[in-house]
Amino acid sequence: MVRVAYWVGVAALVWLAAPTATRAASFDCARAGTPTEKAICKDAAVSKLDDQVAAAFKTAQGLWPAGNWPVFIRNEQREWLKDRNGICKADVACLKQDYERRLTFLTHPSLKWMGRYVAGNCPKDGVYLDVTPSYPDAGIGVELYLCPDPKGNMLLQAEGDVDASGKLRFDDAGCPRVLTFTQDAATLSAPKTEVCERGADSRAFRRDPAKSPYLGE
């Protein structure tokens, strides 16, 4: 499953600006000040990718127009920019790969379910769910961790497709679990059976707009 390492490597954020005669990317190239911005403006292929990522980001912001989603996706995008500038700098090959990965992420069919969902009082105690893209299919990957261990103390791992009703159904060592998504929440449930230990770990999670499972923290 593609996880955090995929995203920590390189990253990008594009801010839309008013079109001008010197607009070769999603920003005004006449005002390009950093080595990264200048490299984007000098390379037609990267400049085009930059524009495509900007459009995809704008669309992604509207997936959930209210609640925590707009804050989450903007915060994640800002942090991605820092990684792009700090790692790729003016390396065109690095930038091209970075933009292609970012575009794949922003156009993922299950993007609106992505993020970190917490239950309890993280980071002091509790648990959190990291929901990330599955590639090359349209599904998601889910990993459940104890707080506050930053390296993760994994309790559960699953992968699959979210159905039309917002449910991901999976088998956890013989226990049929269901993860149900709504706008800013995810509820993990299981039947009260001997195999499921009377529905152990069934609980509600909330999306944390300040945390991203894709970036180093």
What pLDDT, on a 0 to 100 scale, did the predictor assign at position 24? 56
DSSP-derived secondary structure letter, 86: I
Angle at 195 between CA 194 and CA 196, to 5 degrees: 90
Biggest CA–CA distance in the chain, Å, is 69
Q: What is the distance between the alpha carbons of residues 23 and 90, in angstroms, rounded to a whole number? A: 19
pLDDT at 91: 97
The pTM assigned to this predicted structure is 0.82
pLDDT of residue 215: 63
Ramachandran region of residue 203, left (φ > 0), alpha (ψ -120 to 50) or beta?
beta
Instruction: Tell me what pLDDT residue 144 has.
Output: 93
pLDDT attached to residue 142:
96
Q: Residue 150 has what pLDDT?
A: 67
Asked whether 121 and 144 are in contact (CB, 8 A), the reply is no
Name the amino acid, one letter, at 123: P
pLDDT at residue 4, rounded to an integer? 34
Cα–Cα distance between 66 and 148 in angstroms, integer?
28
Amino acid at 27: F
Q: Which residues of the chain have pLDDT under 70?
A: 1-24, 150, 215-217
pLDDT score for 182: 95
Q: Domain-by-domain residue ranges, the chain?
A: 4-107, 112-207
